[in-house]
Structure 1
Amino acid sequence: MSDDESKIELNRRRVLGGIVTVGAAAAAAGAGTFAYFSDSEASNDNQVSAGTLDLTPESGSLATFAFSEVKPGATKGPHSWTLNNAGSIDGSLDVDVTVNNNSGVDDGSSGTPANSTDVSESDLAKAIEVTTLSYGGADITGQISGSTTGPSGYFTAGSSYTSLYDLANNTHADGSGDGESDGGNDLIDLADPGSGTDFKIAVKLRSEAGNDFQADGLDVAFTFMLNQNGGQ
């Protein structure tokens, strides 16, 4: 090999060596430390508090009604309650209705002709038709699943109607799909009353009611419940 050839080969080695050296320097530079910007802000004194449901009648208390001197074929009412939710969260309104015999048999001492027949509470409730049942101006009798043709033994079977007995003994299937009962209340899942919603009822003693119903009466109780969830 000539000296020139030897020099050329050596130069190539140097060049290759130089390339390797540069590559190593670049790798070393990549292993250096870098700084990143950052900033933070804090939100303190946050709170979580429970909301409230507060069912209140507009007058401060639920007034009672007395439908007295009722005669066959006559309608009494409607009686109206205005309900409010003074709480901070919306709810679902349920209504439970109960009827009890008030032992209204007259003994004649009041000057009213005596009536020795004490019609049972269920028979009397079946003789009383619910002619108006509304909430917020909307008819809600469609929630009542039952109907009657009157108390057996007192009325001749005719056309069916919604009675006070049907309202007080109304049942609802579980429609929520959660496997839980709908609370057993007679009217369920009514809208939140907000700042004021009227609940109205009117009744009529059916014209078929005869002398056996004279002086008999019922005590009727309406219980309104505002729940967080429908069917609760």
Structure 2
Amino acid sequence: MTADGSGRRTDALADLSRRRLLAGLGGLGAIGAASGAGTFAYLTDDERLPRNRIGAGEVALDVSCSDSSGNGGCTVSNGLVSYTPENPIDRGDWGDVTFDVSVRTNPARLWFATTCPPTRDPLGEELDVSLRVGDEWVFPSGSLSELRREFADGLRVDDRDGGACLDPEGDALEIELAWELPADAPADAGGETTAFEFRLYTEQCRHVSEGDAAGSNPYAGIDCDEPRDGCPNCDYAGKVDVDERIVRSDAGDASTWLAIDEGPLAGDAYLLVTDVEYKDDDEEAVGVRFDLVDANGDPAGELCEVRIKGGNDTATYPIEPPSTDTGETLYAPENDGGNPAGISNVQIDVCVDDDGGNGDDDDPVDCECGGNVRYRDLTFRYDGGSDAAIRVTTQRTGGGDEVVFEEATIASGGTFTADGSDVSQTWANVGTSLGQNTTIEIVSGGDSGASERVEVHTSCSEVLAIGDTFGSDGSGGTLYELVGGTFTDENALCGSEDLR
């Protein structure tokens, strides 16, 4: 623990005015769908983006960026703002990037939250960074990985310059990250690159009182796993057959990820390709680097071994320590000519608990969700004080939304059921179920300040249990409680005490 009690290093990088430490970093989540420098995003509360949210009322956001080399270097794709340095970062390199965020339509509160770092990230552990929001260095000094763990549970940023709420007529809010890779950093940290990304959540100030604003942070409670040296068991998790040309994935576009199509993680996990090497004809991939992610782009497990098949042979790569990404480009075995063969499939093993992830034999309940087992229906209790007309929709994996609870007036203490038994889905062999995200909306009525729209993640990336609560009632309490539900295999939803 350091002298300031923060647990982070206090030897802030010298001369911040000369070397503005870096700004960006893997995972603050953003809103938008555009690319290139300049203004990236204009959104309303009608847009639904995985893990990125817009709160009550219509809010439009602009996001732009510039770095120390004078380049924009930023992209926005399907809600993810991303900045990647033009060149790999080597020992002794430094730089910075600044994001300007502004609202167009109505005064709004703003939160951001980092995504958790990979459990193995040599560059992230060694890259010294500092983060400034407005006039305040909210993270004076520490590693990029420390920063990502620090703000995974969200940070309100609209009130950093004294007053609450961003004003459409005011100046843009600056978010700046300055970075430096020390000259004495380990060799495996140099010559690497990384993307710095963030998500934002915003809500109109007039829809939620300042006294209730603390309950609006959608990232509250998220906690990152600390790195570990090994895992109890390294078990087979799945395989990807390579039938088409492998391309570098777009982090914001799941259609560019390689879906696990065989094994325990089939339908639930993907390979997000971060680097590819090809044969001379630039068509067939011979090497690949990837992250293991779920449908939301979040880590789906820790890789402990990867096998790359090419030709008649298979190359085996232990991942030590276990990590959510491969850490380097992995190659297919060499052919008779001494060159890497084209990749025909990729097999992965992941860390599992001592019981193999299946619990004890005397466990009387089955709380598993994933693969061919999804949420069929969920029943919620409405805890608002005033009657409200409520409607519920869920996403279809093929695109669009489906109503799963028709608009009806619900009294305080009344229940309603989101039923996905007639909603066709394309993932795994489920057939029908609730989609990746299910949205509860108050169409009319309800309490002043209560959440108008509440999104529940129903993709199995987050475990749901009876007793979970969602939304704000506008008076410091929650708006909905999950009181029942059924999986597609007919098993009932579990209570929190039953979850493994």
* Greater strand proportion: 2
1 or 2, which has the higher helix percentage? 1
